[in-house]
Amino acid sequence: MRGVKPRIFAFFFAAVLSLFLAGPWRAHSQEEESPPPWPVLTPVETPEPLPGTAPLTWEDDIASRLVTGVDRFLLDQIEAARQTRDPYWHRDFASPEAYSQSVEPNRSRLRDMLGLRDTRAEAPVFQFHGASPGGSLIAEGNGYSVHAVSWKAFGDVTGAGLLVLPKGKAVANVVAIPDADVTPEQLLGLEPHPGLSLPERYGRHLAASGCRVLVPLLISREEAPYKMTWREWLYRPAYELGRHLIGYEIEKVQSGIDCLNALDPDTPTKTGLFGWGEGALLALYTAALDERVDAAGVSGYFGSRQNLWQETAERNVFGLLREFGDAEVASLIAPRTLVIQNAPGPEFAFPPGKNGKPGRITSPTDQEAKGEAERARRLVEPLGLNFPTFFDHRPPKYEETLTAFLQALAPEATLAYPGEGAKSVGPLPDAAARHASQVHEIDRHNQWVLRESEQTRKAFMKDLDFSSLDAYQKSSEIYRAIFRDEVVGHFDLERLPFNARSRAYQEGPKTLSYEVVLDVFPDVFAYGILTLPKNLKDGEKRPVVVCQHGLEGRPQDVIGEARYAGYKAFATELAERGFITFAPQNLYLFGDRFRTLQFKSNTIGRTLFSTIVPQHQQITDWLAEQPFVDAEHIGFYGLSYGGKSAMRIPPLVDRYALSICSADFNDWVWKTAATDERSLRYSYANKKEYEIFEFNLGGTFNYAEMAALIAPRPFMVERGHFDGVAPDETVAYEFAKIRFLYEAQLGLENQAGIEWFTGPHSIHGEGTYRFLHRHLNWPEPAATP
């Protein structure tokens, strides 16, 4: 009881103090304080439209309507892509050889999509985990032995798994590829797996039938410490660097084929791939790309890819659906053998609320599997083949599928039953250590590619011509086209008429704002807040600053009190300094809703900015037609994700006379691909922004290269020392390349600048404002005495 009275007294004192602070004398004290730093804006009484526009009557959340409309638009574009694949194909059915040659350009493009850019190991051989093949023996079965092996694949990356050697002469070489969540030991029946029945352990059947069988380990879907699967953890940096986890695992399979062939180089032996789930995906793609594969067996995977965006992150292949569905990939295998088993595949879901992309892997439906197999048949029908061989049994009859597969490789062979299966004769490999080693090798390779990427980009940009400013601009147009078509992605669609609708929105002491909506594409519109200075005279034309919000932002954030700490109401403040401003609503808000748009876009070779860029083209074209706008002086100024926009939009929107990147500029490729412990504080590799990755930026355009597409227009960076985007030295290193470009190579003095300030992730509004006044040709306001 000793401490009760002091506690009661403290409570009573706090209550009295609260009443005192809430009393009328407190209100009087507040009145004597300085006004708030943000502009005081009030709703207009009569929301009249801007002259020359129709009334805006929408009463719902316009930002939400925008995201919903773009979602519909992208689904329509995905469907349209399926209907317009023919121009990519020029099949020659004169002979099987002519056909295979005619689809080689499609193979080449698929290789690029899957990131097969690394040189495969030359003449690899199996490394037996023991002093000899006998020393590596871990199990024996009915006429075969099982060995633990590894092999060089590419760079310092190896494959690992189990090799099954028949006691007699091998009738065929087979890579039996398990699903990502099935180990080689489980596929061969050496360890239990709750999801696999005896017939689904196809490796055992093929081994007992006299095949030499390699069973590789795949990276698993288990959750990593970073709140995403191990597969996504490795996919993220690989994708940014123009590689892909699918491509890495294909190269492991291809090197495995090299090793199988090296075991008996003097005896011609056919090669087959058979897989289930993720293994079936790899069997399908590898056979499509590698004509050494005589037969491929696909189980529990083949079907429609129209909902690829719903699958897990590492299934995301940039541009795949423009040219390929599973049927088109299958057509690359013809005239070789493809056996498809319509069987249940693995079921997996990664939930929302973590750092990884929510996604699911499901079995193809009967309708999807049959429909896609029929499409594949029609694509190659003029060859006169029974292609593909399709088995539709529920429950599946693996014996018929495996028999057809085996007959394509060795007509004299008979499918054998493995009986009780192999018996362990030695310790099994340490599965956890082996998987950790495989993860580490790919991660290390990604980091090597990251280190080399700067030189890759230098080689890529080597054709810029610095002999004169005109020569530079002409040569940069080639790179601008690559950036537009292959990196950002471009919708080759005619924009709709403006159909401008507006309504007066808010009024301040010196400004009047309007909400404005413009049509862009079907279901796509642009929305933003136009702010006009009240001292704008009739017939006067003024420069415009487009003020872009950041992640989860809205136009309202940049004009007033909302989120003032970061944005400083810079759209209104600039209007008070005499500029016209326009604050667009970009797509990056509503969490998973907008992030899904990125994956929908990626399937057809587009990104979020494929939609955002034409929105800005429409905005700037409309602004240029307004009687009060100086069309030659429209600038872009964005914070955070708006700063990311400042690097991607102005290169492709000619009307932007300058660009300011605030609270975002850094070595972007490093920020998205680095996985070392020091970098993870800054890197997106382990963060929740799972949509942020852009295919092959590492090999094409980092921020210095993007700025080269803005040049010779003025460009500026606004950087707070305490901004957690990146350390100062990383920002300075990347900006130094831009300064060298502008000042040394192009002879453009004072056209590129950076302002450092002591502050956080926010608008600073000093050097940037002077930059805008100077380059947009508007005088700075007189200094307040």
Whether 393 shows a pLDDT value over 80: the answer reads: no
**What span, in angstroms and rounded, lies between the C-alpha atoms of 74 and 56?**
25
- pLDDT attached to residue 160: 98
Whether 690 shows a pLDDT value over 80: the answer reads: yes
**Which residue do the tokens 């879907």 mark?**
221
Contact 779, 579 (CB under 8 A): no
- pLDDT attached to residue 19: 30
Counting every residue, how long is the chain? 785
**What span, in angstroms and rounded, lies between the C-alpha atoms of 759 and 770?**
19
**pLDDT above 70 as % of the chain:** 94
- pLDDT attached to residue 562: 79
**What span, in angstroms and rounded, lies between the C-alpha atoms of 545 and 619?**
12
- DSSP state string for 566-632: HHTTHHHHHHHTT-EEEEE--S--STHHHHHHHHHHHHTT--HHHHHHHHHHHHHHHHHHSTTEEEE
Query: Residue range 629-647: average pLDDT?
Result: 98
- pLDDT attached to residue 701: 98
**pLDDT above 90 as % of the chain:** 86
Mean pLDDT of the chain: 93
**What span, in angstroms and rounded, lies between the C-alpha atoms of 252 and 121?**
10
pTM: 0.93
Query: Residue range 380-390: average pLDDT?
Result: 96
Query: Residue range 694-711: average pLDDT?
Result: 98
- pLDDT attached to residue 602: 98
- pLDDT attached to residue 200: 60
- DSSP state string for 259-285: HHHHHSTTS---EEEEEETHHHHHHHH
The predicted-structure confidence for 477-507, as pLDDT tens digits, reads as follows 999 999 999 999 999 999 999 999 999 999 9
- pLDDT attached to residue 591: 95
- pLDDT attached to residue 782: 85
Q: How confident is the model at residue 785 (pLDDT cuts 50, 70, 90)?
A: low
Q: Which residues are CB-contacts of 599 (< 8 A; sequence separation ≥ 6)?
A: 308, 309, 313, 316, 357, 691
E strands in 91-217: 127-128, 137-141, 144-154, 157-166, 172-177, 211-216
The predicted-structure confidence for 178-209, as pLDDT tens digits, reads as follows 999 999 999 998 998 887 665 467 888 899 99
Peptide linkage before 335 cis (omega within 30 of 0): yes
**What span, in angstroms and rounded, lies between the C-alpha atoms of 326 and 599?**
18
- DSSP state string for 484-546: IIIII-----PPPP---EEEEEEE-SSEEEEEEEEEEETTEEEEEEEEEETTPPTT--EEEEE
The predicted-structure confidence for 716-754, as pLDDT tens digits, reads as follows 999 999 999 999 999 999 999 999 999 999 999 999 999
Whether 347 shows a pLDDT value over 90: the answer reads: yes
Lowest mean pLDDT among 5-19, 50-64, 150-164, 226-240: 5-19
Main-chain phi, psi angles of 10, to 5 degrees:
-65, -40
Query: Residue range 79-96: average pLDDT?
Result: 96
**What span, in angstroms and rounded, lies between the C-alpha atoms of 172 and 272?**
8
- pLDDT attached to residue 421: 74
Q: Find, among 394, 396, 437, 400, the residue nearest to 415 by Cα.
A: 400
The predicted-structure confidence for 753-781, as pLDDT tens digits, reads as follows 999 999 999 999 999 999 999 999 999 99
The predicted-structure confidence for 279-332, as pLDDT tens digits, reads as follows 999 999 999 999 999 999 999 999 999 999 999 999 999 999 999 999 999 999
- pLDDT attached to residue 132: 56
Peptide linkage before 712 cis (omega within 30 of 0): yes
Q: Find, among 655, 495, 520, 497, the residue nearest to 53 by Cα.
A: 497
Q: What totals of helices (H) and strands (E) does the chain contain, helices first?
A: 25, 24
Given the DSSP bridges, would you call strands 54-55 and 359-361 parallel, antiparallel or unpaired?
Answer: unpaired
Whether 25 shows a pLDDT value over 50: the answer reads: no
Computed on alpha carbons and rounded to an integer, the radius of gyration of the chain in Å comes to: 31
Q: By CB neighbour count within 10 A (0-12 exposed, 13-18 middle, 19+ buried), where does 783 fall?
A: exposed
Pair of tokens at residue 282: 């790899």
